[in-house]
Each structure stands twice: as structure tokens, then as C-alpha cells.
Structure 1
Amino acid sequence: MSGVVVLNTDNTALHTVSIPHAIRMLIRQVAIIEEALEDRQIGPYPVPLVLRLVRYVKTAFLYGRTPAWSKRSVLRRDQHICAFCGGHGTTIDHVVPTSRGGRNTWLNTVCACETCNRRKADRTPAEAAMPLRFAPRVPLWREVTPRP
């Protein structure tokens, strides 16, 4: 068993916790058991599979702003696909080179393979005659958040 699912009061899944953590939540009376293994007990509690919180937890603050830019997140957003040739990308490239005022932003960086990155060098895609296969964009949180 990988963990106990914790639901908000509106039955949306929030996250998973360990069984000891789930039991502590029951003791503190912040959650109630929605589903459990009835034949197994931990003290007075059945072993929980799903808990539901007693009070609603607002989660909008987690997704109210855009994800912070990082090289790793750019690679995740672009799924390690080179924006120039479509091959396996391992580096990032600036659409407007940093030497010309380009910055580390979602809309100015793309994933690139080492060959294309070297070939483009210190030029824009138009100057290097290397059109982008897809436009850079601000990603959704789920695209750049590591999956367990």
C-alpha cells in the first residue's frame, strides 16, 4: 500500500499520507475515515485507505501564480524534445540570446539538443535559418511538477 488518500470536504483529492500520519489526523480529529480495511485495526481505528478532511482547505494559493522558471522545468515543459530538430534535447536555448538582452523567461527559452544549440549559437532562430517547431509558452503547474 503506497499511502492513504486525503480528500478535501468537497471530495477533491489533495494528496496522500502515510498510515501513521493518517492515524495522527484521526486522533487530532481533522479527518474522518471514508474507506478502510475493516478487518485490520490500529488501536481503536481501522486501517484507513481514504480520509476526508473535516474542514475545507483552500488550494487556490498553490496555483495562483505561474511556476518559477528553471532549466529543469523548461526541459520538463518541452518533454526533452528539441524545439529545432525534434530530437532528444538536453540543454536549453534562448530564442533571443542573452548577449542581446534575452532573459531567462518561459517565453524566451526552449529545449534544444547540443547540436542545434551549437549551430544556432549567438543568433536568433531567423538569423540562423532554424525555425522553431513549437512556440515557447508558460507551462501549467502539472507539466513542471515532478511526479511521484
Structure 2
Amino acid sequence: MTHRSHHQKTEVTRLHGGAASQTVGSRSWTRRRVLLLNATYEPLSAVTIRRAVVLILRGRADMVHADESGGAFHSAATAVPVPTVIRLRSYVRVRYRAVVPMTRSALMHRDRFRCGYCGEAATTIDHVVPRSRGGAHTWENCVACCASCNHRKADRLLSELGWSLRTRPIAPTGRHWGLIAAVKDIDPAWMQYIDAGAA
């Protein structure tokens, strides 16, 4: 470990206090994520709170949104509110990933958390052509689904039930979808930037 990285680690682990004090040193300190924006406000990735605080303290990023709880991390020299969204001060180029991995989170967001059959609130994912009937686990064959429709449909085809899809399922496109696919729980404060990335 270099002197610089050792100093960086010490600087962050000494932060404490306020509503954030229970977060420091706990597993949620590494689980919770902060949205990292490019200098142009384009969503880049989700980083740990530890990484976000380091970027702020080093002057490489600015706070855009802080946690509404009002908690802050305190050191001898400064106090940093618990971040939810930060923005890099300098623009960085990133390689665009054309293929978006299909995850539960991303599929639910694609279908706006509504059942692909009846439009009610979705709680699960359904294979339009059941896997037992040769259906693939792909964007084009999966939809968000409510518990009732999922139970009624079981392993049958839509033609056997006389059902139809509300919209044709397709693979989403756009840089921001990689972020949605990678994060299980998306903070509501992120959505204005993710939606802007979709435009």
C-alpha cells in the first residue's frame, strides 16, 4: 500500500458523527451506492459512499444531492453531508457498452414496474414463452409480471390463454441502462439524471 492510499483510507475511516455515524464501519458503508455523474451531468456509475467521500475530499467531485436525513461525516477539519449524487469536476471519456445485461432491476425499470399482461403493479418476471417450452432468458422473451398473472399463466403459451402483451418486449438501448442493470436499489434522487440520459 502506497503512502497516498494509506492516507486516503485513514482519512475516510476517521469520519464519523450525526445520522451517518451508524453507517461508518458497518456493512452498509460498502453496500450503499452514490450516483457518479460526469462533468456534463451524464450518469457514469454507482460508487460506494467511501469512494464518493474520497472524491469530494480530494476536490475531484462536487456534491449534487445529499441524503435527506441530514446526516454528515465529520473530521477535525471538515464535515461532509452523506452524498447520494456527486459530479466530477473534470470530464472523462468512457467507452459505450452497446449490449445491456438483463437484470431484474433493469427489466422492471424497462417495463415501469407494470405487468406486461394486465398493467397492474409487477412483483416478478415472467418468460413469455416458458423456459419449459423452449423460451430463452432474453430481453425479448421476458416481461415484468404481477403475481396473479404469473400464477394463471404458469407454463402455458399466450395463444393457449388468448392473452396478448401490452407492448412488445425489446432490449433497451442507451448508456444509462448499464447503470440501471448494475444497481439493485436506485435512489429516487437519481432518476432525474437517469431519465435525462434516456432522452
TM range (shorter): 0.5 to 0.7
Partners in 2 of 1:130 and 1:15 — Cα distance? Answer: 38
The answer on 1:89 being equivalent to 2:125 is: no
Alignment size in residue pairs: 121
The answer on 1:57 being equivalent to 2:89 is: no
Bigger radius of gyration among the two: 1
Identity %: 35
Match for residue 98 of structure 1?
131
Deviation at 1:50, TM superposition (A): 7.4
Amino acid at match of 1:24: R
Deviation at 1:88, TM superposition (A): 0.8
Tell me if the contact between 1:92 and 1:111 (Cα under 8 Å) persists in the aligned partners.
yes
After the TM superposition, which parts of structure 1 deviate over 6 Å for at least 4 consecutive aligned residues?
2-5
SS of equivalent residue, structure 2 residue 126: strand
Partners in 1 of 2:128 and 2:36 — Cα distance? Answer: 44
The RMSD of aligned alpha carbons is: 3.5
Change (3 A) 1:15 1:69: closer
Tell me if the contact between 1:83 and 1:111 (Cα under 8 Å) persists in the aligned partners.
yes
- Structure with the bigger percentage of strand: 1
Q: 1:142 aligns with which of 165, 170, 176?
A: 176
TM-score, length basis structure 1: 0.63
Match for residue 46 of structure 1?
none
Return 106-115 or 136-145, whichever deviates more: 136-145
Match for residue 120 of structure 1?
153
Q: 2:58 aligns with which of 24, 29, 33?
A: 24
- Structure with the bigger percentage of helix: 2
Unmatched runs of 5 consecutive residues or more in structure 2? 1-33, 45-50, 63-76, 78-85, 181-185, 191-199
